[in-house]
Amino acid sequence: MNLGLSGKSVFIAASSKGLGRAAALEFAKEGALVTIASRSLGQLEEARDEIRAATGQEATMVRMDVLSPDDIKNAIRHAVDSAGGLDILVTNAGGPPSGFFSDMGDEDWTGGFELNLLSAIRMIREALPHLKSAGGGRIVNLASTSVKQPIDGLILSNVFRAGVQALTKSLSSELANDGILINTIAPGRIATDRITELDSKRAEDQGSSLEQFQTAAVKAIPLGRMGTPRNSRVLSSFTVRSPTRT
Ligand SMILES: NC(=O)c1ccc[n+]([C@@H]2O[C@H](COP(=O)([O-])OP(=O)(O)OC[C@H]3O[C@@H](n4cnc5c(N)ncnc54)[C@H](OP(=O)(O)O)[C@@H]3O)[C@@H](O)[C@H]2O)c1
Of 244, 62, 35, 59, which is closest to residue 137 (Cα–Cα)?
Answer: 244
Q: Going by C-beta distance under 8 Å and a sequence separation of 6 or more, which residues neighbour residue 140?
A: 88, 89, 90, 91, 182, 183, 184, 185, 237, 238
46 lines ligand 1 (CB under 6 A): no
How many Å apart are CA 8 and CA 85, to the nearest integer?
9
More confident: 143 or 245: 143
Q: Could you report the per-residue pLDDT of 116-164, keeping only the tens digit for each?
A: 999 999 999 999 999 999 999 999 999 999 999 999 999 999 999 999 9
- Ligand 1 geometric centre to CA of 177 (Å): 32
How many Å apart are CA 183 and CA 240, to the nearest integer?
13
Measured from the Cα of 188, ligand 1's closest atom is 5
- Global pTM value: 0.94
Nearest CA to ligand 1 atom 41: 39
Query: Which percentage of the chain shows pLDDT scores above 90?
Result: 92
Q: Going by C-beta distance under 8 Å and a sequence separation of 6 or more, which residues neighbour residue 166?
A: none
Q: Which residues of 141-174 are buried (b: 16+ CB within 10 A; e: fewer)?
A: bbbbebbeebbeebbbbbbbbbbbbebbeebeee
20 lines ligand 1 (CB under 6 A): yes
With left for phi above 0 and alpha for psi between -120 and 50, is residue 51 left, alpha or beta?
A: alpha
What is the chain's mean pLDDT, rounded?
A: 94
- Ligand 1 geometric centre to CA of 135 (Å): 30
Cβ neighbours, 10 Å, residue 31: 17
- Ligand 1 geometric centre to CA of 218 (Å): 21
Q: Could you report the per-residue pLDDT of 5-62, keeping only the tens digit for each?
A: 999 999 999 999 999 999 999 999 999 999 999 999 999 999 999 999 999 999 999 9
Kindly calculate the radius of gyration of the chain based on its CA atoms and give it in whole angstroms: 18
The kind and range of the H/E element at 10 are strand 9-13
DSSP string, 16-28: SSHHHHHHHHHHH
Would you place residue 231 in the very low, low, confident or very high pLDDT band (cuts 50, 70, 90)? low
Q: Report residue 67 CA to chain centroid gap.
A: 15
φ, ψ for residue 182, nearest 5 deg: -130, 135
Q: At 126, is the secondary structure helix, strand, or coil? A: helix
The answer to whether residue 244 scores a pLDDT higher than 60 is no
